[in-house]
Structure 1
Amino acid sequence: MDFNNWTLLAGSRPQARVAEVGQRMLAWNVPPSQLVHIPEHWLVYPEPEASIHYLLGLLYMGFFVVACLGNGLVIWVFSTAKSLQTPSNIFVVNLAICDFVMMLKTPIFIYNSFARGYATGHIGCQIFAFMGSLSGIGAGMTNACIAYDRYTTIAKPFDGKLTRTKALFMVACIWAYTIPWGILPLVEVWGRFVPEGFLTSCTFDYLLDTFDNHLFVAVIFTFSYVIPMSLIIYYYSQIVSHVVSHEKALREQARKMNVESLRSNQNQQSTSVEIRIAKAAITVCFLFVASWTPYAVLALIGAFGNQALLTPGVTMIPACACKFVACVDPYVYAISHPRYRIELQKRLPWLAIKESANESQSTTTETSAAPPASTPTANT
């Protein structure tokens, strides 16, 4: 069938066509039966050059390999190493699972890119968007739980240690919170999943101009972005405030006692390791905020702003940012988590990782007693 000669029928929705000689529009190679699933907004844009599709496809291939390798190692090592099987690290594994799921959908994008369009059709689009919804919202709430864990460990060390049961319950709550936001648009009870940009990726429909869809965008924006980001900011701001106040009190006490520091060398070493772990957690959470903020802004513009600002190329920027963060997350832990590095060194010596066993042992990740008030720790 020759799709190049489709025309705009009077009184019907726009259909893909050739606007000028030699210029194809987006969805030029999409069968008419599939066009109903594509927002009209994208059908007025010209088809990008084939090299753009191929470049994005190669980029996503790189994302896929790097993210699956990194997150796969995190899931394997944290799940099987006894020294890392702590309640707090259940959240680390859950975050790696979310990032891993996010990258498992990239073969759909890669296939679409090399086919230059909506090649996997409506079914592929629904799978892609459903996996993206679960992994994205799940990662956000997992980061919020990690922030809560750091807060309770550092700011309230005597209020009770996080147990394995509590951590598993919190993970179950994360998925109970997340799954409805994937199912509702999947079955089109509220919202729907549609292709976006170059029609090679899919997400929830933020372009449909109806009251129900505007309400859906506002609600999912609140539950998937505002709530986890607010929790992350609150808990880490409390940690910073606590540490600053605590260090100030130590300095004042040391000055009164006419000594340089109240900390022993062992406590200083332990605190240094814990600060590295806390920095890793803060970095991961910052990456989440940085990666999903562009997508949140894009959705709000599509639903409530000037849709003309949303060109196909613009929408690919936040999509790539999210995939990039899913690649970076596990390597942040590889760089900053001493016990994880020790385990990698034992299991994969050819990686040539050099980590001091003494430094790893100084980490108070799984101490049986509550940490002393004079030494804030991060429970990872």
Structure 2
Amino acid sequence: MDKQVAYLDTYYKLWYKDGLTMRDIVPKEIAELSNEHWLSQPPSHPFIVDLVGILFAVLTCINLIGNGCTVYLYIKEKSLRRPSNLLVLNLAISDMVMIISNGIPLTLNIFYSNFWMYGKTWCIQYGLWGGITGLCSLWTLVFIGYDRYNTIVGGFTSKPLTNCKAIAAIIFCWGYPVAVLIWPTLEMWSKWSLEGLFVTCSFEYTIDTWENKSYTIFIFSFCYAVPLLAILFYYTFIVKAVWAHEAAMKEQAKKMNVESLRNDKNNEESAEIKIAKVAVTNVVLWYLTWSPYAAVCMYGQFGNRKNLGPVISQLPSMMAKTVSCLNPIVFAASHPKFREAMGKHISFCKSEDPASNAPSAAVTTKAVTA
């Protein structure tokens, strides 16, 4: 077998000569966009890349349908045009831009070539827009958490979110990522390069220079740890407030010698419990989708890089993008007003009885509709 040839046998098993690396396979222009760590890796099975392409094709459809419906409902239904829902709208738009700028090009690339085919300029754009939309969505989740924290924990004494505050938050959500990611784009602090399977681009986290190490620490601290701590803080107090209100209602019902203070006996699960479930789901979803990628970046920069293979590094970056398909479910479909609008404006969705979503206490109504 020729040194530069790898092939699949009749059982689709990959065979290649000992010592063959990706440097021997990828074109020269592709090698110039990567680094020695990835170029020194043995070839990966081509079906893995094909599987990634199929996965992203599916994610693209789910993302565009889910987030597209969210944007459509916000435009169509006047009752949804509230300041707090501006944040949900921004989240949907950010997730759609992510899949358009990353998912569609990646899917087309994999269908046409096993390696990156767009050149250096689009590698930079891929990494830049993936980073901007990813961080924009993360900070939007933080502000959504703050809004719910302010409404539920602060109660009637809190100042409601205004359009000006919501727009200011949205400007920050888009401006902050640009300020953070302009440095690798200009190659003044780290840079964008191909990673893993040579079909996606990310900031450089496998080169032992202080420039790359410091940028990785910076990204980990201010683009992962800070948002995570903020979300944990907000939703921890939200859950505590929800359960405290639930306990107070049960205690009051006990004093009045009644089973429950709720008017709707058929809906024993209170709106507070539903909010708590959404809160916990949000934190778990955020943590599970972004933590593996953060761990890979830190391990690639400071750990034993020999254990970091192409597939291991690629999966977490793909997982982080799946959250763009799940956000509409967590933040739109779980909202009573959005569900009501879906039943009203989308033919294949059944509308629920609005009365079934009406909470029994005023503070609960404020918490849900905020």
Task: Classify the TM-score, shorter chain.
Answer: 0.7 to 0.9
In the alignment, which residue of structure 1 is the partner of 2:254? 255
Give me the CA root mean square deviation: 2.9
Q: CA deviation at 1:123?
A: 1.9
Deviations 1:199-218 (A, max 9, x none): 10111111111112111100
In the alignment, which residue of structure 2 is the partner of 1:209? 208
1:118 aligns with 2:108: no
Distance 1:289 1:194 in 2: 26
Q: CA deviation at 1:374?
A: 7.4
1:75 aligns with 2:71: yes
Partner amino acid, structure 2, of 1:205 = E
Contact 2:242 2:272 in 1 (8 A): no
Structure 1 residues 333 and 245, CA gap change in structure 2 (3 angstroms): closer
In the alignment, which residue of structure 1 is the partner of 2:186? 187
Structure 1: gaps spanning 5 or more residues: 6-18, 365-370
In the alignment, which residue of structure 2 is the partner of 1:170? 169
Distance 1:176 1:126 in 2: 18
Partner amino acid, structure 2, of 1:290 = L
In the alignment, which residue of structure 1 is the partner of 2:50? 54
Structure 1 residues 80 and 190, CA gap change in structure 2 (3 angstroms): farther
Partner amino acid, structure 1, of 2:39 = L
Q: CA deviation at 1:184?
A: 1.5
Q: CA deviation at 1:49?
A: 2.5
Distance 1:264 1:175 in 2: 42
Distance 2:81 2:152 in 1: 20
Helix, strand or coil: the match of 1:166?
A: helix
In the alignment, which residue of structure 1 is the partner of 2:158? 159
Contact 2:146 2:234 in 1 (8 A): yes
In the alignment, which residue of structure 2 is the partner of 1:100? 96
Partner amino acid, structure 1, of 2:38 = W
Structure 1 residues 54 and 22, CA gap change in structure 2 (3 angstroms): farther
Q: CA deviation at 1:23?
A: 8.2
1:246 aligns with 2:245: yes
Deviations 1:73-112 (A, max 9, x none): 1122123321111111111111112211221111222233
Helix, strand or coil: the match of 1:207?
A: coil
User: Following TM superposition, where does structure 1 have runs of at least 4 consecutive aligned residues deviating by more than 6 angstroms?
Assistant: 266-271
How much identity, in percent, do the aligned residues show? 33
In the alignment, which residue of structure 1 is the partner of 2:11? none
Contact 1:67 1:326 in 2 (8 A): yes
Partner amino acid, structure 2, of 1:242 = A
Contact 1:186 1:192 in 2 (8 A): yes
Partner amino acid, structure 1, of 2:368 = A
Partner amino acid, structure 1, of 2:104 = P
Partner amino acid, structure 1, of 2:305 = Q
Structure 1 residues 3 and 96, CA gap change in structure 2 (3 angstroms): farther
Contact 1:138 1:175 in 2 (8 A): yes
Partner amino acid, structure 1, of 2:48 = I
Distance 1:59 1:185 in 2: 28
Structure 2: gaps spanning 5 or more residues: 6-14
Partner amino acid, structure 1, of 2:350 = I
Structure 1, 263-272 or 287-296: larger mean CA deviation: 263-272
Partner amino acid, structure 2, of 1:215 = S
In the alignment, which residue of structure 1 is the partner of 2:368? 378
Contact 1:206 1:217 in 2 (8 A): yes
In the alignment, which residue of structure 1 is the partner of 2:33? 37
Distance 2:139 2:72 in 1: 22
Structure 1 residues 207 and 132, CA gap change in structure 2 (3 angstroms): same
Q: What is the aligned counterpart of 2:337 among 336, 339, 344?
A: 339
When the two structures are aligned, how many residues end up with a matched partner? 357
Structure 1 residues 133 and 142, CA gap change in structure 2 (3 angstroms): same
Distance 2:228 2:202 in 1: 20
Distance 1:247 1:278 in 2: 11
Contact 1:4 1:24 in 2 (8 A): yes
Partner amino acid, structure 2, of 1:45 = Q
Distance 1:166 1:324 in 2: 29
Q: CA deviation at 1:320?
A: 2.2
Distance 1:201 1:277 in 2: 37
Structure 1, 268-277 or 160-169: larger mean CA deviation: 268-277
Distance 2:280 2:82 in 1: 19
Distance 2:257 2:345 in 1: 48
Contact 1:54 1:113 in 2 (8 A): yes
With normalisation by structure 1, the TM-score equals 0.85
Partner amino acid, structure 2, of 1:219 = F
Contact 1:101 1:135 in 2 (8 A): yes
Q: CA deviation at 1:58?
A: 1.2
Structure 1 residues 270 and 193, CA gap change in structure 2 (3 angstroms): farther
With normalisation by structure 2, the TM-score equals 0.87
Helix, strand or coil: the match of 1:378?
A: helix
Structure 1, 323-332 or 229-238: larger mean CA deviation: 323-332
